[in-house]
Amino acid sequence: MQVNITFRNMFATDALRNHVTDKLSKVVDKYLDKVTEAHVTLSLERYLHHADINLHAGHFHVRGKEKSEDMYASIDLACDKIERQLKKYKDRLKSHRPAHVHAREPVRVRYEIFAPSPTDGLPPEVVRSNEFLAKPMSVEEALMQMDLLNNDFLVFTRPDSRDVNVVYRRRDGNFGLIQANGEMTTVAAPASAGGAPAAAQPQVAAAK
């Protein structure tokens, strides 16, 4: 496994590199057959030590992000979060066969972050913008990927089209699905410990 480590606002040390590599390798070897690479960002922000670990496991990405007053503790906490996710999805990650092997290419999506205008009547100001690729996957795969990333929503495309869809977490504990054709539905997925979608197929109900 290739581990790429980036240090921000702090000195790079071999001790931290070795700690990340050793800790991550133990977790990966325990739950996965193969991992192509891992991207780790270690940063110091306002006296807090941030560890952001992104793991590429087959067709899925797993993310663990934590912060504390000690970098070694932050790394351990981020790795523990990844281990919990891998343990939850261990069998599905190993046996998964993607629904998008012959799907269309990913769709490039642009997003912008706005700040409210301090003056009434003026439009909000764009403070940041970026682009990412919305990859083709089934609804079940999208729910699983959203949980593995510890995100509240995920933008994706359907394997048989380039229509952009969004899955998201609802306040009632279910999952919402927004489709490009204008429909919005509730995905009542069976929940495992922690409220994440379980192995069963999600059940789609009318939106409320």
Assessment of whether the complete model's pTM goes beyond 0.75: no
The tokens describing 56, both together, are 């590429």
CA distance 86 to 67: 20
8 Å CB contact between 54 and 82: no
User: What confidence tier does 11 reach under pLDDT thresholds 50, 70, 90?
Assistant: very high
**3-state SS, one letter per residue, for 49-69:** EEEEEEEEECCEEEEEEEEEC
Decide which of 34 and 164 is more confident: 164
What per-residue confidence (pLDDT) applies to 19?
97
Ranges assigned E (strand) in 9-142: 37-45, 48-57, 60-68, 107-115, 125-134
Domain 134-206 falls under CATH 3.40.50.620: no
Residues in the chain: 208
Q: Does domain 2-95 have CATH number 3.30.160.100?
A: yes
Distances 136 to 20, 162, 179, 202 between C-alpha atoms, Å: 31, 8, 13, 18
Give the confidence band of 126 by pLDDT, cuts at 50, 70, 90: confident
* DSSP bridge pairs for 66: 51
pLDDT band at 201 (very low <50, low <70, confident <90, very high): very low
- 3-class secondary structure, 19: helix
With a cut of 70, say whether residue 94 has pLDDT above it.
Answer: no
Stretch(es) of the chain classified as CATH 3.30.505.50: 134-206
| pLDDT greater than 50 at residue 15 | yes
| Residue 175 near residue 183 (C-beta atoms within 8 A) | no
Of 34, 80, 86, residue with least CA distance to 62 = 86
pLDDT (0 to 100) of residue 90: 78
Q: Predicted confidence band at 186 (pLDDT cuts at 50, 70, 90)?
A: low
Q: Could you tell me what percent of the chain has a pLDDT over 90?
A: 36
C-alpha–C-alpha distance, residues 153 and 32, integer Å:
25
Tell which wins on pLDDT, 188 or 107.
Answer: 107
- Predicted pLDDT of residue 191: 47
CA dihedral 87, 88, 90, 92 (to 10 degrees): -170
Q: Give the chain's mean pLDDT.
A: 81
Where does CATH 3.30.160.100 sit in the chain? Answer: 2-95
Q: Nearest Cα to 167, choosing from 201, 131, 140, 128? A: 140
Q: What per-residue confidence (pLDDT) applies to 113?
A: 84
